[in-house]
Amino acid sequence: MDEVVKMKAENVNFFYGKTQALKDISLDIHAHSVTAIIGPSGCGKSTFIRLLNRMNDLIPHTQLIGRVYLDCQDVFSHAADPVELRRRVGMVFQKPNPFPKSIFENIAYGLHVNNIKDKDFVETRVIESLKKAALWEEVRHRLHESALKLSGGQQQRLCIARCLAVSPEVILFDEPCASLDPISTAKIEELILELKKEYTIVIVTHNMQQAARVADYTAFFLLGELIEFNKTQELFTAPKDKKTEAYITGRFG
List C-alpha distances in Å: 157 to 53, 173, 235.
20, 12, 29
Q: Residue 185 in contact with residue 4, Cβ under 8 Å?
A: no
Cβ nearer to another protein, comparing 60 with 182? 60
- Please give the residue ranges that form the binding site for another protein (CB under 8 A): 53, 55, 58, 60, 83-84, 86-87, 90-91, 93, 95, 97-101, 109-110, 112-114, 159, 162-163, 166
Among 251, 190, 214, which Cα is nearest to 36's? 214
Number of alpha carbons in the 13 Å side-chain half-sphere of residue 189: 20
Q: How many CA atoms lie within 13 A of 14 on its CB side?
A: 31
The CB-of-247 to another protein minimum distance in angstroms stands at: 29
- Shortest approach of another protein to residue 235 CB, angstroms? 28
Smaller CB distance to another protein: residue 88 or 131? 88
Find the shortest distance in angstroms from Cβ 106 to another protein: 9
Quote the least distance from Cβ 94 to another protein, whole Å. 9
Contact 200, 33 (CB under 8 A): yes
- Closer CB to another protein, residue 97 or residue 207? 97
When the beta carbons of 58 and 72 are compared against another protein, the nearer one is 58
What is the smallest separation between the CB atom of 155 and another protein, expressed in angstroms? 11
Q: HSE (CB half, 13 Å, CA atoms) of 185?
A: 15
Q: Based on CB atoms, which residue is closest to another protein, 179 or 230? A: 179
